[in-house]
Structure 1
Amino acid sequence: MKKLIALFSASLITANVSLAQFGPGGPGGMGGQRGDNNGRPQTTQKAPSFNIEGNAPKGNSKVFGFIVDESVSTAIEFANVALYSKETKKVVDGTIADEKGKFSMNRVAAGEYNLVISFIGFKDKSIEVKVEKGKDNDLGVIKLSQSVKQLDEVTVTAEKAMVEEKVDRLVYNAEKDLTSRGGDAADILRKVPMLSVDLDGNVSLRGTSNIKVLINNKPSTIVASSIADALKMIPADLIKTVEVITSPSAKYDAEGSGGIINIILKKSTLQGLTLNLDSGVGIRGSNLSLNGNYRQGKLGVTLGGFGRAFYNKSDVTLNQTTLRNGVSTLTNQSANAFDNGLFGRYNLGFDYDLAKNQSLTASIAFGTRNFSRNQDFTINQYSNNVLGSTSYRNVDSRDLSNSVDINLDYIRTFKPSQEWSVSGQFSQNKLTNNFFTDLLGNSQELVSRQKNLNKNFNNEMTLQTDFQTPIKQNQMFEVGLKTVIREVNSDYQYLIANPTGSFSTDARNPAGLLNYNQSIAAGYISYTYTTKNKLTFKAGSRYEYTTIDANDQKGKITIPAYANLVPSVNISKSVGKSSTLKLAYNNRIQRPGLQQLNPNYNASNPQSISVGNPSLKPEVSNNVEFSLSTNIKKTYLNISLFGRQTNNSITRISMPSDTVIGAIITTFQNIGKEQTFGTNIFGNFFLTQKWTINGGVDIFYNYLEGQQTGLNGLSSKISNSGIVVSGRLQSQISLNKGWAVQAFGGFRGNRVQLQGTQGGMGMYSVGVRKEFANKKGSLGLAAENFFGMTMRSTLTTPQFNQEMFNKLYNQNVKLTFSYKIGKMKFTQAKQSKVKNDDVKSGGDNNN
């Protein structure tokens, strides 16, 4: 099908061809076409052929070469090549470059010619060629420069699909999502097939939260600390695509037992000195983004930043019963919560072409998070069904962080698809998790004060090198080495004071610390082979060796070093013209994240306390997946079956407190095992050329098995299981004069936990957008969750029962505005090679 598209554009050499309306992807990459099941563009336009002179002489000489994009030194697939006679000025031969950018004309007669190369989004290039009888002409690598024509000069009819499947991943085109504008990344991820996001922004993939999230193929310490916090820092308007990689190859870090989510932000593609503005104002959230770009010759510079503020209200009701020493304590707790957040991220980057086949890329990004929650608690406690006490407290929680990510990449291209890279990254995140409490009497008078001060530090240094080379035309070999040095520190203390006095150390909660140093050495090898009958086989293996040096206030924590050999196999087979079968297996590991390790005793909610476990070990999982994707006329359908078994699964465990009456303490432990088996079904339907509907359902069975302390103080095996169902449906209509309407609805069923269930939730929204000024600007209006939502979660053990209701007043109406200044340049921005995919995200935020 790509050849048909290429032939169509080739006709521009000899005919006046008018193209219809251009889609959102840009002409350089053919992003405007709907993708097929392998991510290849499709079109329904008829393809004219070259107008070759009928009596052109034929010879025995050969003219060949490679065509690449001069800005990124990558092959230009299916570029058009025409050979003109200097004497007659007519085309005597023509061909199309293959997927590697290679072209060849084998029966060229002796003479003088002009070789003209063209492709949409690039400037035509003409080369004088003198052909001698019986001699071959190797033209080497030919570089095309990109066109800087305005978008309205070339247009294409088809729309890019909301969801596309490529050989190794599923891609959600978030830039087409109207209803999430003015929101954050969590709002986008809730609509991505196979993903589930709860109210706090915690993400799971096919039932597991043990995943790795990358931003532009790169890790960040803010993501390593908490995925939920990182998602709040990214406005939905800046997200171009979300890639879901369920079976990563050996090139990726072995971490993330459930897979990898790669969030691709919109890259600046503007020529000269330009500015992009994106903004949104809503009832519960507002955002502002400014991005500037300067590109001249070999140098490109980008400078940008965005900020987002949100505000929300919720009511939480907690009912729990604990049993200690024969005494039953019933706690009824209610709390009104007000959340306020201010998030920002600012970046400076440049890329420079050192030579024709060498480039240097560098970037620095700063992130900031300022999240506060104010809660008014009313707590009634009953001892053996008799009211024993009523207490009131006001809690002010502060979650602050400042992060920096610095990347430097050197890439050398020897020939198309053969390259060597050296990459380095320094990443740092300083976090503060404090809370301040006022304890009040029955008359709301101040009785005492308490505060918990907790400072955290996360530091990473990464160095890696990668090499890939094609073998013939159907094979690829990849190899690489990587080392990561990670440092995690936590320093915490509790202070108390009477209403008029100064703060002093709380003897009941002594100060503590955690120093945690982790070093990882890794290497991988990968081989890809494609047969003539469209069977692709990709196999590889990755070896990682991890050493840990840790201590707390009590002394050294003994955590032995461990080694992991992680194999992966991916097989795909094209069936017919529009279907693909895939079979994949991989072995993955999951290291604990900062919030799971942090031993700080977080009692901001005195009846629901959380504390980390610095002795956690990594979990290991085996994953298998089988899928079928197909195009049936205007319908795309994907069906996948998957299974996963995880040993030493890192899981939340709750138990009654020994010191706080009626309270429950939650920590993390390596339980015995976790098994998940299920299916994903997703479809994308083009009802008309301008009306699409896509949706899907996820169904899986979850089984967990671990240890629990009983009433007799002895540990015993427990288990829990259940079926989880989630789904989503979205529709978009493109109207005349730049108008578009979109609606979305989705739900997530109750999730199985070892000791109970976490409540399900539903989301819905509708939005409208008007594009103006030749698509340089847009104005939109969206509304979501008109009635708010309520989540119910339960925990049940022989020692306690807990039921929590969380009512969120998240009704929202938002107005969005965006505008672009500048000329389009079809340049693919260079990305860092560093991908730290190995740290498990933090736990849920259940304060």
Structure 2
Amino acid sequence: MGITLAQTPTGVPTQPVLTQSSQPAHTPVGETASKGNAKISGYVVDSTLTKAVEYANIAVYNTATDKLVDGTVADDKGKFTLTKVAPGTYKLLISFLGYNVKPIENVVITKGQIKDMGVIRLSASTRTLGEVTVAGKKALVEDKVDRLIYNADNDVAAKGGDALDILRKVPMLAVDPTGNVSLQGSSSVRVLINGKPSSILAGNLADALRQIPADLIKTVEVITSPSAKYDAEGSGGIINIITKKNTLQGLHLDMDGGTGNRNSTLGLNGSFRKGKLGLNLNGNGRIIYNPSASDLNQTTFLASGATPVQTRQRIDAFDKGTFAQYALGMDYDLPKNQSLTAGVRLGIRNLSQDQHQLTNTLSSERVAAPTKRDVNTQNLSNSIDVNIDYLHTYEGSSKEFSFSTQYSRSTLTNNFEANNLDTLGLIKTRQQNLNYATNQEFILQADYQTPVSKVLQLEFGAKNTLRRVTSDYNYLLAGPTTDFVVDPSRPSGLLNYDQNIAAAYVATTFTLPGGIVLKPGLRYEYTSIQAQTGGSQTGGSTGVPMSILIPDYGRLLPSINVGKKVGESSSLKFGYTRRIRRPFIDDLNPNFNTANPLNIRVGNPYLKPETVDRIEIGYSTQLKKTYLNFSLYTRLNTDDIQSISQRSDTLVGAVVTRVTNLGKEYNYGTNLFATINLTPRWSVNANLDIMYRFIQGLALDINGLSTTISNQGFRWGGRMDTQIQFDKGWVLQANLGYRGKDIALQGYRIGFAQYSLGARKSFTNKRGSVGLVAENFLTQGMGFTSVLNSAQFNQDFRQYIYNSSVRATFSYKFGSLNGARVKKSKSLSEEN
């Protein structure tokens, strides 16, 4: 990249303008640059965010002649360096598209001096032409050598929504109507918050993401080929959710909220900064109230020659939930380029569902009397994350050292109480399943990076994660009025699962001629496990705890990412990575959940980790007003962790689903994303992905013997968004998406469509806005069908998702803020 100069008719230089060339380089322009041995360096960042202004322009003027004598372009971290600067007095002009030009006067340079300008803040520009206001903003999608960044700040339709509303619009991601997230067809994704793992995400991921309000999200990073610096967990890749953080002096408070027919939200986001101390506090609450229903048609095949069992079930339900998240962050600038940051994050999820189940069974050519059952399920969790991070940077260099600690704990309660009714609707018996689980983690991590030469940077570090999972579960029975007692016929017990993960990595970044960036790395992780099962502490089995023999394992995990500039506005990239997926707490939990006695789920503490090798080739380009991103990928999973279903040996007509290491899975896919700026005020974004999947594993035949089965097929999906800005602060946004049929080992799931329409009006003082958002408003909801076929049973399960919603949103900013110097910060698992 280089710098050209826009001039007025009189020839007086105005703002330096960025132009593209094959690589960012030190580019003297204007009159011949002075010959000297001094250096000028610094970092360019956004004035309101701790984010670099990548490839900002730096122009150097001689103060005496007011002529441009030198210039350069910052790198992708906002860092710039000017060399061979002669003694003298200079003026620097720092600029980038969408920001106000930042002049720095009277920069005095002496012979041989290394002048560190520190952090230079650029503020977003706004130009007024008559009644038309054009504000500079970042592109919706940014493509890096190892990740794709989705800038979520201007998403109108997500106002008053949650993180799932944002993720539905991110390239390469898919979110189904029940909130399950997949990355390029893989549901095994590692989700981070501000570069850190969080216990909030340890349980049900869909419910946890509903705790994070959309208004709090700044960007979403999709990392399909993570470097060796990242934990190896998440075979499909990493989704890193970056939340907004204010770094301005003074005191301020933002209030956001919304209310609608399906949910209501209220959020507060405040900050205080004075001198070297900064505090950020946010709290967000969300309540849902929504009916739901399902139909189940099932045929269960018994031993050869026996009459199949026909089962029909209808469930009508109502969901009620409260989700909340609170976070307090602190940062303090220590002397000599050091900083200390700390944070506490709390999460609450209280989700309950009242069900009325009506079941009809046809067995041996006779129709049994319908069974009625009222069930109340409680899915509750509380979580806390505490972190302390230390960062030491070195003046005049990109060298830095960081040390991070984090403690996380989450408690998970997944109980149900059922009333079994007679034909008159009177209670015959009552049943309880009490299931209490905890997940604790303690993390220590140290990272160091240093430039080895002008073209080579070295990174290495180590990390240790101590993790403990417990599950205490039992069944209780009672009559219509009697007290509950332990059910001797149902399994009860206690699981203690301790895991220690020791890891070390080395990674390098080579900047080669021709605009090539090479990032190879190697990570090693050793996992040791100690597990026990035994009697429940709250009742049930009283057996002596027994050890589960799970072998320790080590994994050597290479990665490489290569990026190359092609011409002025295009780039190519290649990535290879090997990753593993360790089982989640729900996968391990051996509780035999019979909230629905026809669909029973049980975990497996004996699970092995899943290993995946992934290769990706990507191309992106800017064609006038259109940005295109195209990728091809392949993924090979071994010891694939999947759910396998079989008929119950004890409950007639029931199907039991267990989590197991199935076998192998192959995926081949492509993704195309485009952003078209039709006018300065009207943009259209489109996403298309196609994937072919082959799955192979073991299942049981009609006689209960293991047999190899497989399934294969294509899946495709697409999405289109558009946003239009009008005069007087009005913005309109629309979205339409479709996800096609998706296969599993034993069946498939049909496709579905989603759409939304939203409008927002900003106040003239720019301090607040009001809006209205409607989603799936042409129908009451949708039917979401899953089909399972096996030698033992056929099942058609249709969920009715009543997701037709309308909500009003509002936001307002209080307080007064002034400029403040931005300090670099570092956190666990954060990538530079």
Please report the TM-score for the alignment, with normalisation by the length of structure 1: 0.89
1:573 Cα shift?
1.7
Task: Please give the alpha-carbon distance, in whole angstroms, between the structure 2 residues aligned to 1:306 and 1:8.
Answer: 47
Q: Aligned partners of 2:720, 2:217: CA distance in 1, in Å?
A: 20
Percent identity, aligned pairs only, is 44
SS at match of 2:423: coil
* 2:283 matched residue in structure 1: 305
**Partners of 1:661 and 1:676 in 2: how far apart?**
37
- Match in the other structure for 1:22: none
Are the structure 2 counterparts of residues 37 and 345 from structure 1 closer, same or farther at C-alpha, using a change threshold of 3 Å?
A: farther
**Quick check: 1:67–1:79 contact (8 Å CA) kept in 2?**
no
Distance of 1:152 and 1:760 partners within structure 2: 45
1:637 aligns with 2:628: yes
- Comparing 356-365 with 817-826, greater Cα deviation is found at 817-826
Displacement of 1:756: 0.7
Within the alignment, does 1:682 sit opposite 2:673 as a pair? yes
Question: Do 2:331 and 2:339's aligned partners in 1 also have CA atoms closer than 8 Å?
Answer: yes
The one-letter code sitting in structure 2 at the alignment partner of 1:657 is S
Match of 1:264 in 2: 242
SS at match of 1:604: strand
How far does the alpha carbon of each residue in 1:134-184 deviate from its partner, in whole angstroms, 9 at most, with x for none? xx3313322256478997899965543332322221122222221222222
1:85-136 Cα deviation digits (max 9, x unpaired):
5xx585584434643744446474x7x63555655679754456375xxxx3
Residues 1:163 and 2:141 aligned together? yes
1:302 match: secondary structure:
strand
Partner of residue 531 from structure 2, selected from 550, 553, 559: 550
Deviations 1:765-807 (A, max 9, x none): 1111111234321111111112111111111111111101111
1:712 lines up with 2:703 in the alignment? yes
Contact 1:37/1:636 (<8 A) preserved: no
Going from structure 1 to structure 2, the CA distance change for 1:14 and 1:437 (only over 3 Å counts) comes to farther
Q: Does structure 2 retain, via aligned residues, the 8 Å contact 1:454–1:493?
A: yes
Partner of 1:138: 113
What CA deviation, in whole Å up to 9, does each residue of 1:632-672 have, x standing for no partner?
11111122111111000000011111121111111101011
Map 1:204-215 onto structure 2 (within 5 A): 204-215=182-193
Counterpart secondary structure, 1:137: coil
Of 772, 791, 794 in structure 1, the residue corresponding to residue 763 of structure 2 is 772
Does the CA contact (< 8 Å) of 2:613 and 2:635 recur in 1? yes
Q: Counterpart in 1 of 2:416?
A: 435
Distance 1:439 1:722 in 2: 42
CA shift digits 1:399-453 (9 cap, x unpaired): 1111000111111111432111011100110111111111111011111111111
Q: How does 1:827-846 map to 2 (within 5 A)?
A: 832-835=826-829
Q: 1:383 to 1:525 in 2, by over 3 A?
A: same
Structure 1 pair 586–113 and aligned structure 2 pair: CA distance change class (3 A): closer
Distance in 1, Cα, partners of 2:822 & 2:85: 36
The reply to whether residue 225 of structure 1 matches residue 219 of structure 2 is no
Q: Is the 8 A contact 2:7 2:14 kept in 1?
A: no
The amino acid of 2:221's aligned partner reads E
Matched, 1:737 2:728: yes
> Which residue identity is paired with 2:297?
N
**Which deviates more, 337-346 or 473-482?**
473-482
Alpha-carbon distance in structure 2 between the residues aligned to 1:90 and 1:801: 81
> Per-residue displacement from partner, 1:246-276 (whole Å, max 9, x unpaired)?
1111111111111111111222244301101
How big is the shift at 1:750? 1.9
Root-mean-square deviation over aligned CA pairs: 3.1
| In structure 1, C-alpha distance between the alignment counterparts of 2:52 and 2:115, rounded to whole Å | 14
- Alpha-carbon distance in 2 for matches of 1:128, 1:836: 34
Give the direction of change, closer, same or farther, for the CA distance of 1:797–1:98 in structure 2 (3 Å limit). Answer: closer
Aligned pairs for 1:234-245 (under 5 A) are 234-245=212-223
Question: In the alignment, which of 542, 556, 570 is matched to residue 561 of structure 2?
Answer: 570
How many residues are matched?
800
**How does 1:17-416 map onto structure 2 within 5 Å?**
60-68=35-43, 78=56, 80=58, 82=60, 84-85=62-63, 90=66, 93-96=69-72, 98-99=74-75, 101-104=79-82, 106=84, 108=86, 113=89, 124-127=103-106, 129=108, 136-144=111-119, 146=121, 157-325=135-303, 326-414=306-394, 415-416=396-397
| Offset at residue 330 of structure 1 (A) | 1.1
Q: Contact (CA 8 Å) 1:125, 1:144: kept in 2 or not?
A: no
Quick one: which amino acid aligns to residue 205 of structure 2?
Answer: I
1:68 shift after superposition: 3.5
**2:804 alignment counterpart:** 811
SS of 1:167's equivalent in the other structure is coil
Q: Aligned partners of 2:358, 2:175: CA distance in 1, in Å? A: 29
Match of 1:622 among 603, 606, 613: 613
Specify the alignment match of 1:593 in structure 2: 584
Q: Which whole-Å deviations, capped at 9, do the CAs of 1:287-331 have from their partners, x for residues lacking one?
A: 111111111111111112111111111110011111224242111
The one-letter amino acid paired with 1:142 is M
Give 2:401's match in structure 1, choosing from 420, 423, 427: 420
SS of residue matched to 2:593: coil
**Alpha carbons 1:251, 1:526 under 8 Å: kept:** yes
User: Which letter maps to 1:459?
Assistant: Q
Is residue 458 of structure 1 aligned with residue 439 of structure 2?
Answer: yes
In the superposition, relative to structure 1, how do residues 695 and 114 fare at CA in structure 2: closer, same or farther (>3 Å)?
A: closer
Q: Which residue of 1 aligns with 2:513?
A: 532
Deviations 1:494-552 (A, max 9, x none): 11110111111111113211100000000111112122211222111100000000011
Question: Which whole-Å CA distance do the structure 2 matches of 1:696 and 1:73 have between them?
Answer: 26
Find the aligned partners of 2:720 and 2:672 in 1 and give their Cα distance: 12
Greater RCO structure (CA 8 Å; 6+ sep):
1
- Alpha-carbon distance change, 385 to 627 in structure 1, aligned in 2, over 3 angstroms: farther
Matched, 1:486 2:467: yes
- Any gaps of 5 or more consecutive residues in structure 2? 535-544
> Counterpart of 2:417 in structure 1: which amino acid?
F
Gaps spanning 5+ residues in structure 1: where? 20-29, 41-48, 838-847
Higher mean alpha-carbon deviation, 522-531 vs 162-171, is at: 162-171
Amino acid of the structure 2 residue aligned with 1:545? Y
Name 2:599's counterpart in structure 1: 608
